[in-house]
Structure 1
């Protein structure tokens, strides 16, 4: 009688020890044990709150054990442990393969665009380098210099200024129009001179500033006091009275006799806007003599 020969079991070669695989194995094992403990803790808490459910579950478990034994299949704790270990081992190897897989190289379309506001890269010596945007197709292309914008003189509400600010504003107009050696000399003992300057052609301009309201006009007495000092004391080539309001008739008559240029509020606005002649460019009517010429 021939005895059947059992097929030899395949001999599993021992797997080489790998630190990463072992670490992943224990991490998965810890997760599995944590889940088992959580389930057990939840079942215990449910049994405390609802004892009837616990009795029912125990009876169901006992019936399952009895049925398994009657069917000839014995529940083996060792077999369950081996199956769980094999499944855990497979999960470990899958995780290691995923970690070892090379990451895909970024495509050129997904590469980040350079930020023009970023700081320029530094050279080998640590100094910063300036990046010039030049058209590579034109070797003679260069960075064009930025043209300086022409800034117009800002319109000023001269009536809202105090006397000192008004004198400074008139001095700024003289500087804007090319005068040299502009100086604000107004104050106590100024003898009628508030601003003195040299015109572009070298003449001395002496200006008296009267910041008056519309109802207060420059009278003949103010004009006579200035006319007595502008030429004889200050040696003016051009004498000017500038006001934010207007002049009385006698004041204009005296100014015409002495050759004093009168700039009222309207003339001041035209001077500020550049639409009228500058005070030292004023022309008197033909035949009118001035005190300086006499």
Structure 2
């Protein structure tokens, strides 16, 4: 990992990523006098907007895990909702671990703490992939290899993160997975799941596109090309997390199962209601007598 040298006007403990005095001086080092120095710093983004929105994703993940964990339907096996619950739970935990890293581990020059966050979010996305595998199985789809492929690819990504720490692999896996979610859930007409996945992808795109103008590369120039009003407090990573929050919130209203199963469930409930009404009529003596000879 390459070293990063950032301007600091005083102690490096003043701020781990950005020096507010330097920013307040218009990023003009000459105004800071002899106390100005370059200090090797971390790559961890400790801006308030970044770690605060990470904690918000954690809270939403816990909520989603609870909602789907308590959901039961007569035609949809409970273990399939367990996969949906795991998606929210592990994703939330992953971003929660990242929040701790952003807020507390500010002076780590090699943030290996991120590895746990990426592994947890990878497991979360794997769970939703396995949800799709269960959908295939329930519909007697011959693609029994799908779940096996999901496990092989997911564990390969986890291995790469744990052994080599290549975070880009995890990011690519998440983006490709969400693209697949958009297509699959649109096909089964789960529009909330598909729309939520689109918003999540938009978050990844925002993070990638605006990193050069709102991230550490733009710090020496006071983020002059960044469209956000105060990137030293709320930057592109914070905006990325806000879009993830919106996407996952939309997914709270999803079902993650084919629409035909919901229709079948409604038909069963209607037929049960008819049978119940018939039973009440018989018990009440309202059945017409049989006039056949």
Q: TM-score, normalised by structure 2?
A: 0.21
**Structure ranking higher on relative contact order (CA contacts 8 Å, 6+ apart):** 2
Instruction: Pick the structure with greater CA Rg.
Output: 1
Structure with the largest fraction of strand: 1
